[in-house]
């Protein structure tokens, strides 16, 4: 991230906190990760489709809760249509349970039965019902859950001598971030609250290093020849399987390699997507806009705030998108498949590492970007044939 943090203030601020806690010494050796790796089916020129990774989300990966209800929804729709056989073939899917099992394991390893799990939530809580599904699973396991915002942590959070985190007199075992991944989540006080959480002994989901590992820039660097080989020595088959899911990813770092790809993208903008280090949808640039921005920044270090990616082109299918206040009509759609992963690591030991289910989001082809929260995509269910 060395080139990125020179020009991207948000990533730089996260990085400063990362360095500060490393220098101080990490207070916790248990790490909890809840990831969602997203894919689209790219149609090759010969008509064969392959899953290509769009991105990996390492912080606040959402919809694991609500999507746990979707099999029942679509199963019911199929039954109403008399398609009982098809309904029985829908894949069971319950990410709520899998994600909660990771949080529960981290809570257990923290080792204080009276400590709580804290969901760090948004100022305006638009996705509360998704979070509640996971919360309910924790209460079912007799684990107490509290919901707090950054401003509550700033006002009432504190560390004791052993860096145990307390809020409202309650000890916090696990901090589960559902906030904190976009610059608008932070003012000066919220940055201070973030630093307090990172310094604490609470298990963070994710810790700040893992959040940084989820940037588009790191995704691009991982795709460089030789990098997977260095990180997974001896795992030739796994490396080949991973690499097969990578679309072309290109660094815009200052230099010849960057100059070349910038020129190629200006000449043929529809081949690419231009991505800044942002999460949450609606930030990428396509087509004419991509071209204009690249022309403006091509000779400036500012370009290193972005990466370029080959545009994935899925085969559209006709479907009906059911959304509030919008008419029901057939649209040409594309889908994005997310796979949830949950892991708990204690020092160098991997305590738990498993797939927790999937998420399918479908949107009309007119929209290049934008997810469910943006009002563009809808939750869907894959039907395997």
What Rg, from alpha-carbon coordinates, does the chain have?
A: 22
Q: Is 218 in the site for ligand ADP (CB under 6 A)?
A: no
For residue 319, give the nearest of 360, 265, 352, 368 by alpha carbon: 360
Answer yes or no: are the C-beta atoms of 371 and 362 closer than 8 Å.
no
DSSP state of 376: S
Distance CA 347, CA 37 (A): 24
What is the total count of residues that contact ligand ADP (CB under 6 A)?
18
57 in a known ligand binding site? yes
Binding residue for ligand ADP, selected from 67, 185, 223, 284, defined by CB under 6 A = 284
Q: How far is CA 152 from CA 146, 167, 197, 313, 356, in A?
A: 11, 8, 12, 44, 31
End-to-end CA distance of the chain: 42
CA 289 to chain centre: 25
- Single out the catalytic residue among 55, 135, 137, 198: 55
Q: Is 13 in the site for ligand ADP (CB under 6 A)?
A: no
Distance CA 2, CA 279 (A): 19
Query: 48-67 mask for ligand ADP (x: CB under 6 A)?
Result: ------xx------------
Residues 23-42 that bind ligand ADP (CB under 6 A): 38
- Residue length of the chain: 385
* 36 flagged as catalytic: yes
Distance in Å, CB of 247 to ligand ADP, minimum: 5
Q: Which is nearer to ligand ADP, 164 or 278 (CB)?
A: 278
Distance in Å, CB of 369 to ligand ADP, minimum: 4
Distance in Å, CB of 371 to ligand ADP, minimum: 6
Active-site positions read: 36, 55, 57, 62, 216, 275, 279-280, 361
Chain contacts with ligand ADP (rule: CB under 6 A): 38, 54-55, 247, 273, 275, 278-281, 283-284, 309, 311-312, 336, 369, 371
Residue ranges for the binding site for ATP? 55, 216, 275-284, 286, 309-312, 336, 363, 369
């Amino acid at each position: 991230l060395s080139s990125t943090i020179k020009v991207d203030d948000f990533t730089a601020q996260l990085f400063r906190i990362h360095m500060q806690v490393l220098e101080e010494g990490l207070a916790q050796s248990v790490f909890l990760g809840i990831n969602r790796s997203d894919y689209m089916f790219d149609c090759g020129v010969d008509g064969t489709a392959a899953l290509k990774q769009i991105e990996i989300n390492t912080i606040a990966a959402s919809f694991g809760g609500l999507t746990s209800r979707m099999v029942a929804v679509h199963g019911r729709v199929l039954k109403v249509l008399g398609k009982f056989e098809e309904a029985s073939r829908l894949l069971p899917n319950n990410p709520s349970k899998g994600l909660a099992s990771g949080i529960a394991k981290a809570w257990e390893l923290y080792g204080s039965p009276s400590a709580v799990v804290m969901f760090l939530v948004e100022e305006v809580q638009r996705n509360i019902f998704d979070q509640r599904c996971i919360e309910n699973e924790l209460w079912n396991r007799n684990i107490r859950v509290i919901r707090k915002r950054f401003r509550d942590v700033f006002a009432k959070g504190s560390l004791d001598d052993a860096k145990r985190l307390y809020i409202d007199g309650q000890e916090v075992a696990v901090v589960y971030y559902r906030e904190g991944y976009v610059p608008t989540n932070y003012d000066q006080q919220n940055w201070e609250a973030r630093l307090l959480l990172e310094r604490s002994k609470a298990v963070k989901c994710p810790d700040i290093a893992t959040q940084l590992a989820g940037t588009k820039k790191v995704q691009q660097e991982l795709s460089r020849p030789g990098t997977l080989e260095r990180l997974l020595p001896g795992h030739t088959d796994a490396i080949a399987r991973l690499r097969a899911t990578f679309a072309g990813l290109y660094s815009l770092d200052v230099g010849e390699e960057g100059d070349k790809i910038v020129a190629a993208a200006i000449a043929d903008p529809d081949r690419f997507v231009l991505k800044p280090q942002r999460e949450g949808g609606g930030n990428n640039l396509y087509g004419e806009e991509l071209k204009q921005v690249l022309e403006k920044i091509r000779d400036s270090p500012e370009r290193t705030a972005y990466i370029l990616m080959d545009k994935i082109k899925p085969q559209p299918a006709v479907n009906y998108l059911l959304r509030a206040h919008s008419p029901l009509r057939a649209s040409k759609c594309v889908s994005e498949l997310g796979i949830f992963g949950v892991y708990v690591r204690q020092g160098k030991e991997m305590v738990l590492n498993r797939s927790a289910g999937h998420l399918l989001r479908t949107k009309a082809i007119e929209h290049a970007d934008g997810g469910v929260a943006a009002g563009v995509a809808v939750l869907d269910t894959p039907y395997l044939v």
